[in-house]
Structure 1
C-alpha cells in the first residue's frame, strides 16, 4: 500500500513538473513574440482556466480581438474577484469600440475602488468617444487623484486651450513637463497655445523642441512656417513650408504661400515659379492666384505676361475691381500711346463711379492728360 501511494505521489509530481515546464515554455514563447506558438502551448496545459488571460493577451497580440474577448470572458468567469482582469478587459472593449460594455465594467471597478486614477481615466476615454461632456470631469478627477498623470494633464490642458483659457493651460502643461520634460504631447500643446495667443516667437521655440525630439509632421512644419512668417523671417518660413510639402507635395495652397514669401523677399522670379505651380494644381477659382502672379510679373516688368494673368483672374472673378485696376495699371506701364491709356482710365471711372479706386484713377488720368498737353507743346 505504501508503495502504491508513493508511486501515485511521484506521478503527480511528474505531471505537475511537466505542466510547469509547459507553462514556462509558453511564457518564453510569448516573451519572444511567438504568440501563435505560445497559444498552442497554453492550450495544452491541463489547468486551462489558469491561463485564459494569457491566451487572451496572445490573441490580442496577433490582432485576433474576437478570440481575445472570448478568452477574457472565460478568465473573468474563472476569477470573478480579479479586478486587474476586468480592467484589462475594459481596455480591450474600448479598443474594439464596445463602449457601452466598457462603461459598465469601469463603473463597477470605480465603485469598488474610487481612488484608482486609471479607472477614471479609461472612463474618461469612453465618455469622450461617446461625446459625453462628463469626459472632462473624469479627466479632472484623474488629475485630482494623481498630479503626475501625464495623459490626464494633456486632456485637461487641451480643453483649456480650446476654451482659450491659456493661463491655466500653460500652468498645467508646465506642471506636467516638470515631471517629464520630454513629453511631446505636452510640448505640442505648449507650442499651440503660444501660436493661438499670437506669441509667435515663443511658438517657434516650442515647435522646434518637437523637431529636436525627433517629431516631424506636416502640422509642425506648417505652424513653424506660419510663426516665422508672422515675424517676417521669410527664409525660415520658406524652409519649413517646403518641409511641410514633403508630406503633401500637391498642396496648392502651401505652394502658393511659398510664392508669397518669395514675393515678400523681392525674389519675384521664384515667386512667379511657385505661383505658376500652384495654378497648375488648383481646380477651384484661381482669381486670387492669377492676380498675385500678375503682380509679380508686373514687378519684373513682364508686362505682356502680367496682362494675360490679370485677364485670367478677371475671367475667374469678373467682380474683382482691384484686379481690373491692376490690369489697367499694367497696360499703363506697357502701352506707349497716351490716348489709349486715357481711354482705359475714363472707361474705368465710368464703370465704377464713386468706387473706392475712382480717386486713384482720376489722379492718374489727370497726370496723363497733362503729359499729352506737354507732348503737343
Structure 2
C-alpha cells in the first residue's frame, strides 16, 4: 500500500539529489570559467549557490582576489575561519591578503597566533618579518634571521637579509649568505643579482662576471645587468667585451648618461676617438647634473686627436662646471702648452694650476707642472 510519508521523503531526497547535481555542475562550470580567466562569471555562479560550504567560500575568495575584489575576498576568508579557525592554509591565504591590502595590525595578530601554535614554522616567521618591514619596525630583521635559523634554505628570507647586508656594505656576509641560498637554488635570479652586486662593490670583478653572465643566460636582460657586466669587464681590462655590454645596455635604454660616458671612455682607450667623442657628447646632452668629468674626458679625447684648441675649450667648460677639478686645470695648461707659441702665456696656465694646488694637489701632477715651468723659463731665457 502506498505510504504518503514515504512518498514525500522520496520526493525530498530526489529534489536534494537534483539540487546537489545542479550545484556540482555550477561548481565545475565556475572552475572552467576561472581557468580561462573569466573570474567575474565564475563569481556570479558561485554566489548563486545556496547554502555555501567552506569550499564554495574558498573558491569565491580565490576568484574575488584574482578579480581585484579584495574586500569581498577578505570577507569570504573570514567566514570560513569563523567556523573553522584551525584551517591553517586558509589562515595563511587570509593573512597574505591582509598584508597586501595594508591591514597590518590584523595580519600581525594572525601570524603571531600561528607562530605560537607552530613555533618551528619558518614561513610564519618570514611573513611576520614582512609585516614588521612594512611597519618600519626594526624587528623585521630579527624575524628574517629566525626564519633562516629554522630553515637555512629559506630563499625569500635569505634574500631579505642579503639586501640589508649589501646596503650596509657588509659585502663578505652578503656573499656568503647569497651562496648559501644558491646552493639550494642555483637559478634564484634575485640572489644572483645581489651576489653580483656584492662582488662588484667589493672589487671582485672576476667573480662578478660569471654571475652577471648567468643572469643573462636565464633571460634577465636589462640595462642594469649589461651596465654592471660592462663595468666588470672594464675593470678586468677586457675593453672589447666592456664596450659590447655597454652597447647592449644602450639598446635597451639609450638615454642613460652614465652608460654613454663609460662607453666614451672605453672607445677613447681603444683609440676609436670619433666614437668616443660621439658618446661623451651624448652623455653631456643627457645629463642634468654637473658634467665636469664628461667635459674633462671630451677634452682628453680632443687632446689625443691633437686638436688642442678644442681640448682647451672643453677643459674650460669642465672648470666652469667644477672650478675644483684639479685634473682639468692641469690638462688645460698642457693643451695650452701644445697650442700656443707664446711661452709666457703658457707659463701663466701652469702658474694658475700651482697657485691653487701647490700645497694640496696630487704630487705627480704638481711635479709635472713644476718641471714644465722650469723648462719653459729656460726656453724663454734662451729666446731672449
Q: Could you state the TM-score of these two structures normalised by the residue count of structure 1?
A: 0.89
Q: Give the alignment of 1:1-377 within 5 angstroms.
A: 1=4, 2-50=6-54, 51-335=56-340, 337=341, 340-346=342-348, 348-349=350-351, 352-353=354-355, 355=358, 356=361, 360-371=368-379
Relative to 1, partners in 2 of residues 1:257 and 1:101: Cα closer, same or farther, differing over 3 Å? same
Q: Could you state the TM-score of these two structures normalised by the residue count of structure 2?
A: 0.87
Aligned length: 373
Unaligned runs of 5+ in 2: none
Relative to 1, partners in 2 of residues 1:85 and 1:240: Cα closer, same or farther, differing over 3 Å? same
Alpha-carbon offset, residue 346 of structure 1: 4.2
Alpha-carbon offset, residue 45 of structure 1: 0.7
Unaligned runs of 5+ in 1: none
Alpha-carbon offset, residue 37 of structure 1: 0.9
Question: What is the aligned-residue RMSD (CA, Å)?
Answer: 2.6
- Partner Cα distance (2:197, 2:268) in 1: 27
Relative to 1, partners in 2 of residues 1:171 and 1:324: Cα closer, same or farther, differing over 3 Å? closer
Relative to 1, partners in 2 of residues 1:146 and 1:215: Cα closer, same or farther, differing over 3 Å? same
- Partner Cα distance (2:149, 2:66) in 1: 33
- Partner Cα distance (1:361, 1:199) in 2: 36
Cα displacement string for residues 150-208 of structure 1 (whole angstroms, at most 9, x for unaligned residues): 22232334444445555554444333333322222222233223223321101101111
Relative to 1, partners in 2 of residues 1:121 and 1:349: Cα closer, same or farther, differing over 3 Å? closer
8 Å CA contact 1:225, 1:238 repeated in 2: yes
Cα displacement string for residues 257-307 of structure 1 (whole angstroms, at most 9, x for unaligned residues): 211112222322221221112222223333332222111101101122222
- Partner Cα distance (1:260, 1:348) in 2: 26
